[in-house]
Amino acid sequence: MSALQHAFRSTHRAVIAAVAALGLAVAALVTLTMAPAAHADTQICDQYGSTTVQGRYVVQNNRWGTSATQCINVTSTGFQITQADGSSSTSGAPKSYPSIFNGCHYTNCSPGTNLPAQLSAISSAPSSISYTYVNNAIYDAAYDIWLDPTPRKDGVNKTEIMIWFNHISPVQPVGSRVGTANVGGRSWDVWTGNNGSNDVISFVAPSAIGSWSFDVKAFANETISRGMAQNSWYLTSVQAGFEPWQNGAGLAVSSFSSSVNTGGSSTTGGSTTGGSTTGGTTTGGTTTGGSTTGGTTGGTGSPSCRVTFAPQTWAGGYTANVTVANTGSSAVNNWRVGFNLPSGQTITSAWNATVSPSSGSVTASSLSYNAQIPAGGSQSFGFQGTYSGSFAQPTGFTLNGTACS
């Protein structure tokens, strides 16, 4: 808060009146001093200037493709580009990549991050992003996922996954279009190539997406299935921002959240407490620990299973990671996990499974890359939802129609 300045003018009043006026001034000073301090945004114009927000994410200006000025205004939940001078040829690289991230980027690591983390150890990596677009610029709105064979915290990684939430013609991803894919319940045009420094796989939305909650792991799995990464590689960072070629002022990341769940623990770009996330989304909140409904059921040829349900809740909303273990002696193919949502709960998005309907008696069905649960193995999926009243956990979990008691 700015220092308070008080000037006292000489008067011809009586001494007692002067004392009274001084008393009023002191009282006003105390009142103003006790008022809460307002949040001050941070302006960054330095080429590679950065700062932290929420004590867990890094926001970077990252003007690497031009010498012209670029400035960003960093808020408590994201950033906005306020000045974007210069331009680049749309047949070449963009001017910059102002972004917010969880993880490590050229030795700059976000506070308390548990990245790099080996993909094989990650059960899920829920994230959410909300963008604000403008019409007077040429750009793409890109969510970057960086993978490398080593847990490196500096330099260029081996493979870059780009999720293009929006783009303005005539810009296009690196390489060439190789087909389509369904990831996270959405259809994408898929491009692959190499930019001279690293391999790039891009998932391009057919139309603009303003906001979305999804699982980063789903895109990593799709990349593995296409031979551009391996399960033994490491996730080093996830980043959300813009690549502008011309103009760009007004583009903004309105909100961002990122969690990485490894070995039963989860970190929201920050501290981990007892294996569960403190926070969970940009709205913050209180985490409740997960519980396990275990047991094996079923006769010959029926699946035996154990389900672990681990929620993270805040006022009116939650995310949940569900792990289903096959405790039987044979593999389960094309798994379907059924469960009953309590009254007042609605699922808004899901990852690593197709979940329908959004309320009542729900079924989560496997995707192409995780359709089998080997004997003694497990698969995980997750979802985000809302609730009214007090939060309660789902009941009646089944695996391919057989109860997991």
Q: Which domains does the chain have, with CATH numbers?
A: 42-262 (2.60.120.180), 288-403 (2.60.40.290)
pLDDT tens for 349-372 read: 888 889 999 999 999 999 887 888
Q: Tell me which of 140, 144, 148, 160 is the catalytic residue.
A: 160
Residues 6+ away with beta carbon under 8 Å from 225: 368, 369
For position 23, what pLDDT does the model report? 45
Least confident of 53-67, 173-187, 264-278, 381-395: 264-278
Give the integer Cα–Cα distance in Å for 37 and 33.
Answer: 9
- pLDDT computed for residue 281 by the predictor: 33
Please report the pLDDT score of residue 46 as a whole number: 96
Stretch 252-280: mean pLDDT: 61
Better-scored residue on pLDDT, 83 or 27: 83
Rounded to an integer, what distance in angstroms lies between the CA atom of residue 244 and that of residue 97?
Answer: 7
Whether this model's pTM surpasses 0.75: no
Q: Identify which of 63, 8, 57, 383 has the alpha carbon closest to the alpha carbon of residue 237.
A: 57
Active site residue 160: yes
Stretch 309-337: mean pLDDT:
88
Question: pLDDT-derived band of residue 43, with 50, 70 and 90 as boundaries?
Answer: very high
* pLDDT higher at 378 or 230: 230
* Average confidence (pLDDT) over 117-122: 94
Query: Are 332 and 306 in contact, with CB atoms under 8 Å apart?
Result: no
Bigger pLDDT: 37 or 335?
Answer: 335
**Would residue 243 show up in a list of annotated catalytic residues for this protein?**
yes
Q: In whole angstroms, what is the distance from residue 136 CA to residue 405 CA?
A: 57
- The residue assigned the tokens 């990671």 is 321
pLDDT at 10: 40
Q: Provide the pLDDT for residue 317.
A: 87
Dist CA 229 CA 345 (whole Å): 37
Torsion 330-331-336-337 (CA) sign = positive
Candidate list 122, 243, 310, 394, residue with the active-site label = 243
pLDDT digit string (tens) for 66-95?
999 999 999 999 999 999 999 999 999 999
The letter for the amino acid at 39 is H
